Structure 1
Amino acid sequence: MNPLTEQDIRTSFVNCSKGEAQRLPMPRDLAERPWAELDFLGWGDPGAPDRTYLVTEHAGDLVGVTLRFPAQRRGYLHRSMCSLCLTTHPGSGVSLMTARRTGRAGRDGNSVGVYMCTDLACSLYIRGLKKPAPGGRFEESLTLAEQIERTKDNLSAFLAKVLE
């Protein structure tokens, strides 16, 4: 992913108003992000623990979406799998992230969801730059490039539903 500026990020949001996009908290570490290793930029809202934000390239455009997830905590013995990167996590390591749809559907309150790593570190898990809990990544026959492409395709399919 190419490095992004705050202005790039703010103008990319598709499922909130321009005013809301201007008020979103921005990650403070944009200069330190491992941009070459990221398939998308994801961060949490320190003032609202049930909100996260995601920005990526989709169909040639930069697309940002606001996401919400339940604040409930699951027991450590419960394991779930991220539907983007296929990493499993115990407890609340995977959450159902919901995004309001764009246009009239979103104004009518319609949303779509996807199970994602709660910390939005899918890109780092795939590349082995961040380690999940033991048993979190299965040995795959796909190459790293194929795993990255699969993750991008899964994210693209989710964004297509948000944009419908």
Structure 2
Amino acid sequence: MQPLTEQDIRASFINCSKGEAKRLAVPRDLDARPWDDLDFLGWRDPGAPDRSYLVTERAGRLVGVSMRFQTAQRGFLHRSMCSLCLTTHPRGGVSLMTARKAGAAGREGNSVGAYMCTDLACSLYVRGKKALETGTRFEESLTVEEQIERTTGHLAAFLDKVYA
């Protein structure tokens, strides 16, 4: 992914107003992000623990999605799987992220959801650049490139639902 600026990020959102995009918390460490290893930029809002954001390139332009999620913790033995990268996490490492749909459907209150890594570090998990706190990723017969392709395909399917 190409490095992004705060202005690029704020202009990319498709499911919130320009005012909401202007007020959202953009990561301050954009220069330190591992852009070559990211398929999308994802982060949680430090001032609003139930909000997260995702920005990716799609059809030659940036697309940003504002999402909400529950912060409830599950038991230690309960494991959940991210629907994007298929990483399993214990104790709240995966959350149901819901996003308002784009356009009129979103203004009417319609939303879509997907189970995603709560820290939105799917790109790093797939590439083996970030380790899980406990446990490991399942060993797969797919190459890393095929896993990246699968992850970006799952992200594209989620974005299709936001646009629909």
TM-score class, shorter-chain normalisation, is over 0.9
Per-residue CA deviations over 1:64-91 (Å, capped at 9, x if unaligned) read 0001001211111110000000000001
Superposed counterparts of 1:6-155, under 5 Å: 6-155=6-155
Quote the Cα distance in structure 2 between the aligned partners of 1:113 and 1:60.
24
Q: CA deviation at 1:135?
A: 3.7
The alignment-based identity, stated in percent, is 73
Distance (Å, rounded) in 2 between the aligned partners of 1:139 and 1:84 = 16
- Distance in 2 of aligned mates of 1:105 and 1:51: 20
Query: Over aligned residue pairs, what C-alpha RMSD do you find?
Result: 0.9
Distance 2:118 2:71 in 1: 11
Distance 1:6 1:71 in 2: 26
Deviation at 1:58, TM superposition (A): 1.6
SS of equivalent residue, structure 1 residue 49: coil
Letter in 1 for 2:22: Q
- For structure 2, the 5+ residue unaligned runs are none
Query: SS at the partner of 1:95?
Result: strand
Alignment partner of 1:98: what SS? strand
- The one-letter code sitting in structure 2 at the alignment partner of 1:114 is A
Residue type matched to 2:38 in 1? L
Deviation of the 1:134 alpha carbon: 4.2
- Could you state the TM-score of these two structures normalised by the residue count of structure 2? 0.97
Structure 1 outlier segments of 4+, above 3 Å: 133-136
> Which ranges of structure 1 fall in alignment gaps of 5 or more residues?
none
Indicate conservation of the 8 Å contact 2:90/2:134, yes or no.
no
Letter in 1 for 2:117: C
